[in-house]
Structures are given as C-alpha cells and as structure tokens.
Amino acid sequence: MIKPVKCSDEVKINLVDRKAVYSDEVEDAVREILCAVREEGDEAVKRYTLKFDNILPESFLVSREEIDEALNEVGPEYIETLKHSIANIEEFHRAQLREGFEIKRGDCVMGQKFTPVKSAGLYIPGGTAAYPSTVLMNAVPAKIAGVERIVMVSPPQRDGKIKKEVLAAASLSGVNEIYKVGGAQAIGALAYGTASIPKVDCVVGPGNIYVAVAKKQIYGTAGIDMVAGPSEILVIADGKANPRHVAADLLSQAEHDALASAILLTDSEKLAVEVSGELDKQVKALERCDIASKSLENNSKIIICASLDDAAALSDEFAPEHLELCVEEPFELMKKIKNAGSVFLGYNTPEAVGDYFAGANHTLPTGGTAKFASPLSVDVFLKATQYMYYTKAELFKAAPDIVRFANSEGLTAHAKSVEIRTDE
C-alpha cells in the first residue's frame, strides 16, 4: 500500500528528482549494436534478432498475405474501432498543418516553406504488450504531413509473426512497409539502411531503454521525435473525485512498466487515504499485477497538498507525461498548468481516452522533458526551408550594413561577396 504523505520540501525534491534511466553500460551496449549494423547490415540485424528475440523470421519483410490474414482474423468490429480512432486522430492532426509565409519589404522577398521528409520509420514495441494504438498515433500524422514512404518495424513474436492487431492498424493507417525486427538493431537498420531495410530520414515511436538510447545515438544520421523514458501519470484530484476512479487511472499507467510512475496530488486527506486503499484492492485483480505492483512500490506516491493551486505548482515542477485534473473546475485549474505532455480534464476523462480514441497524440514527452518538449505531431515529419530574394537596388541599399557586420567578425570573404557586386 502507498502511504499518503503531506507535502514538504523533502517530498517535493524526492518527487521532482527522477532517477537516472540511461546507464553507461546501456549506452556502450547500444553503441556496439549500432556499429555492427552500420558495418555488417543484415547479418548484424539477424544475429541480434536471434540473440534477443530467440527467433529469426525467414524474411524481415511482412508479406501482403500476412497482412490480409491479420485483417481477416481481427474481425470487422475491431476494424471499425480502428477506423473510428483513425478518423479522430486525422481530425486532430490536420488542424496542426501549417502553411508557409512570404514577407515583402520593398523589392526584397523573404519566406518559409514546409516540406515533408521523404521517408519515416515507426518503431512499435512488441515486448510485454503490443500496441496497435501506437501504430495509429505515429502513422496517421506522418501520412497527413505527406510522407511518401512510411516504414514500420516491430519485434517478431514466438511464432515469427507480428501481432495481428498491430498489422491491421498498420494496414489501415497508411504504412507502406513492415519489417519483423525490434530493439536497437531495428533503429540501426532504419537509420543506416541494410540490403533488406532501406534507410529512412526520420525515426519515431516509443520503446524500451535500448530503443530509446539507440534513437538518441542515431540522431544526426536521422531525425527523431524524442527520447522517451518510462511512462508517467500525475493526477490532481479534489475531495469530490471518486477514489475508485482515481485509483483505476493511476493503475492504467502503472501496468505499463515496473519503472512507470503513478502520482496523486490532492488537497483532501480523506481522498488520499481512500485512493491508497483502492490501489491495494484493485492492483490484485489486474492481469499485469506483478508489473503494476512494482511500479506502485518503487515509483508511485500519494501527496497531500495544502491547496489545488499548490498541487498545480508541484505538478509543473514534475512536468508529467500525462496529467489528469479530476477536479470540479478543470478548465480553471488548467490555466495554472504550463508543463505537461497531455492534460485530461474533469472526472470523466481517464487517460485511456487519449491513448486510444480522442485523437490527440499519445506519444508524449517523459522524464520532465515536458518543460521544453512537445507531443508527437505533424511537425515532426515536416521541415522548414527559408528563402530570400534581393534585387540589385536592394542589395546596394543593404551593402554597407552587411559589409560592416562581416568585417566585424573577421569574415572578409563574406564582405567581399557583397563588395564585388557593388563595386561593379
């Protein structure tokens, strides 16, 4: 059972100061895998797939027959569910699209245009759980951005296949190629390319610690969305919140991973005690009880704050991935929130709504990075290009300032490139 504690400076520090996730050993192991994939290509990918997944598919590429089989097996009701979710995700992410702009100053023209990356690789986890929802959250924004080639990688199961629900989601959301490979070796294949898996321009999607570190290490060779850590939920609840509901919402993230965090901040001591009891009761009934129990024991807290405003301030310091405002006036309290990946408002908006159906993205900044990072969006798959145009007369007008600036930096060739035109 999580024992509720009253907020203090020590409690705040313990909450905000997260444990280090990436060790030197993991960094070194991933570096070795990536170097092998870059130098040996498919042979290294095969070797590590056999080592870590205990299976080597006949072909990395998923065939059309496998996809059709998956679509038939999941059934029409599940396909309709996927389609409903895709429609909501499309609506939300189409609203993110930006047009370029153009500014005219005299005869000068300056502007910016947006172009999608040509290819994107989506990593879909396949360890203790498989995530068709993550396929949709990554593939749909890429498709809306205009990415031509959308590639998905995911670890094979014991039967050498990818989970049927994941394949169905990929087929319906616009994925062009699917490969049965996971782990750091999959990230290496996407970044460097192999004979079987052509390289991509951008790699997105969550994964375990090795996948996260691999994404960090290949950045610069390919773009990435973010380096994601263990999942987090922070719930701010008032005395009118239902303790059964709050406990269930905390467990919805605790079941992800033993390293996941589930935090409750409340101004009600009564609610804190009731939620603690509910957690103890509900966790025992979960299929993933062992994982959730470890999360509660090692990384979860119930903190009693002096007020909801204090709770909001502490939440901002923590900068949670998921933030639920289970309070009577959630929109008012949200005005005080600056740092959160995704916010769920009111008593009837559990985090699961965002994971599967509402349409907002569920690939979110973790580990306090919500202080400076954003959820995955269409922008991840777009790049901006600036342009400018000067007439001869406009260049003559600006020449003295440009030459003076260049000379002040000691870059006389810069100055000369302007002077050679004005001298003529």
CA angle at 329 for the pair 323 and 334, rounded to the nearest 5°: 40
Catalytic member of 93, 245, 256, 322: 322
Q: Which two tokens stand for residue 377?
A: 């969006």
Sequence-distant (6+) residues with CB within 8 A of 61 are 177, 178, 179, 180, 196
**Which burial class, exposed, middle or buried, applies to 282 when counting CB atoms under 10 A from its CB (0-12, 13-18, 19+)?**
middle
Those residues with Cβ within 8 angstroms of residue 399's Cβ, 6 or more apart along the chain or in another chain: 418, 419, 421, 422
Nearest CA to 81 among 1, 6, 136? 136
Distance of CA 65 to the CA centre of its chain: 30
Name the packing angle between helices 209-218 and 24-40 (round to 10°): 60
From residue 275, alpha-carbon distances to 4, 9, 298 in Å are 9, 23, 17
The total number of residues written for the chain in this structure? 424
Known catalytic residue at 328: no
CA distances from 373 to 225, 325, 342, 351, 380 (A): 10, 21, 12, 20, 12
The CA distances from residue 141 to 19, 71, 132, in Å, are 32, 22, 15
CA pair distance 189, 346, nearest whole angstrom: 43
* Amino acid at the residue 202: C
Q: Does the annotation count 362 as an active-site position?
A: no
Q: What angle do CA 137, 313, 5 make, to 5 degrees?
A: 100
End-to-end, the C-alpha distance of the chain in Å comes to: 82
Which of 321, 324, 351, 362 is catalytic? The answer is 321
User: Which residues form the catalytic set?
Assistant: 321-322
